[in-house]
Amino acid sequence: MTAVDEGFAARLREGTREEHERAERAVFVESLLAGRLGIEAYTGMLRQSYLFYSVLEDAGERWRGDPVVGGFVVDGLLRRDALGADLEFLVGAGWRAGVRPLGATGSYVERIREVCFDDRAAFVAHHYTRYLGDLSGGQVIRRRMREVYGMVDDGVRFYDFSGVGKVKAFRDRYRELLSAAPWGEEGRAGVVAEANMAFRLNRAVFADLAAVHC
């Protein structure tokens, strides 16, 4: 890889830092981590997550095997089944009946449908914001759910990424994939812009969840 290529993963991280931090500081997230919300709030977050992960993973199947971005589609990352298992544990066998999109979730899902099935760079932008975020920051939520509610496996399988092996090694490989992709300057700028859009959409979902649960 060239020096320019090696810098793209870091550029993406820096270029999305502000929006990422705003999402992390959302009232819903802070309240959940502080233990101020009930289990229904956590369940509500999983319901919304099931919806946008489902469409993103459908998009991933579109790109599986693609020579440019197929490497991002890793079975150990997939979250839909884990979310379904968590919701069944928390709600029961009829959990699907309660999975209805909040307004912001509908917008988020629509954006993924609009761009991620036809645009490789947009798919990777949304993939990055979801999976790298939950692979890293999501572990904080998992730890708090264990501390507050005693959930060790059932109920927090969403945050179990053991299928990818050692997390640090996987994150390093993921960043190598980001840096190796032949985006060109316009493509790189597009990835950063769409990733920021994804963080804003995610923050709007947190705002809707806060309106319901906080």
- Work out the average pLDDT over 36-44: 94
- Work out the average pLDDT over 60-80: 96
Whether 52 and 15 have beta carbons less than 8 Å apart is answered as no
pLDDT over threshold 80, residue 16: yes
Instruction: Name the region of 155 (left: φ>0; alpha: ψ -120 to 50; beta: rest).
Output: left
pLDDT over threshold 60, residue 146: yes
pLDDT over threshold 90, residue 190: yes
Contacting residues for 30 by C-beta, under 8 A, at least 6 apart? none
Q: Containing domain of residue 134, as a range? A: 3-213
Q: How many domains does the chain have?
A: 1
Residue % of the chain over a pLDDT of 70: 97
Please state the pTM of the whole predicted model.
0.93
Buried (b) or exposed (e) across 43-64, using 16+ Cβ within 10 A?
bbbbbbbbbbbbbbbebbeebe
Whether 78 and 57 have beta carbons less than 8 Å apart is answered as yes
Which pLDDT score, from 0 to 100, does residue 139 have?
82
Label residue 116 exposed, middle or buried (CB < 10 Å: 0-12, 13-18, 19+): buried
pLDDT band at residue 3 using 50, 70 and 90 as cut-offs:
very low
What does the pLDDT look like over 148-172, one tens digit per residue?
888 888 999 999 999 999 988 999 9
Whether 139 and 133 have beta carbons less than 8 Å apart is answered as no
- Can you give the CATH number for the domain in which 56 is found? 1.20.910.10
Average pLDDT, the chain: 92
